[in-house]
Amino acid sequence: MIFGLFRRNSQEETVARLHKAVVAQSRLPAFFLPPYGVADTFEGRFEILTLNAGLLLRRLSLLPEPGPELAQALSNAIFSLFDDALREIGISDVGVPKKMKKLAGAFMGRGNAYSNASTEGEEELARALARNVLGSGDGGPLAAYYMRAKASLDETPLETFLRGEAPFPQP
């Protein structure tokens, strides 16, 4: 009985693996090189993490339980990462909540914008991605990646996510 207190929750382990998968995917150098050309800055890394995390969170939230519960726990883990990153770049304890509020709004807004734009077609999605991620330029390669990743995740059963796996395609 006492040993149960020291066991790590299996959901925590699953969320940690999913979080690691999203971060690893978002740090792939290909996103920061042509044809994608995302700026290798704090903002550019935020944008790619937002794109990949948004795809995974969307998929998890559409699955039966415990999918939505995993989505919430993963979202919490991602925002914890944002908090840590802000503190590492020197944002003060007083400034972090303001920045977190701004990041949360951007994170949620972009996730919704990309999801909605993807239902209108790849051209609309490319415009949204060019505007938000690139500032200008051709969002077509990112839109093609988004659609491939969405299709891959949409085909993935809950059991795969419960093992902590997130099958993102190569960019």
pLDDT digits (tens, 9 = 90+) for 63-89: 999 999 999 999 999 999 888 888 888
Domain count, the chain: 1
Residue 108 belongs to domain with CATH number: 1.10.357
Q: How confident is the model at residue 9 (pLDDT cuts 50, 70, 90)?
A: low
Q: pLDDT by residue (tens digit) across 126-165?
A: 999 999 999 888 999 999 999 999 999 999 999 999 999 9
CB atoms near residue 1 (< 10 Å): 4
Average pLDDT over residues 15-27: 97
- Confirm if 169 and 154 have CB atoms less than 8 A apart: no
Q: Is the pLDDT of residue 6 over 60?
A: no
Task: Please indicate, yes or no, if residue 164 is contained in any of the structural domains.
Answer: no
Q: Is residue 166 part of a domain?
A: no
Q: Is residue 35 part of a domain?
A: yes
- Mean pLDDT (whole number) for 4-25: 82
Per the structure block, which two tokens stand in for 142? 């990112």
On the 0-12 / 13-18 / 19+ scale of CB atoms within 10 A, 151 is: exposed
Domain range enclosing 139 = 9-157
Q: Is 32 exposed, middle or buried (0-12, 13-18, 19+ CB in 10 A)?
A: middle
Q: Is residue 118 part of a domain?
A: yes
Q: How far apart are CA 41 and CA 23, in angstroms?
A: 15
Stated pTM of the model? 0.88
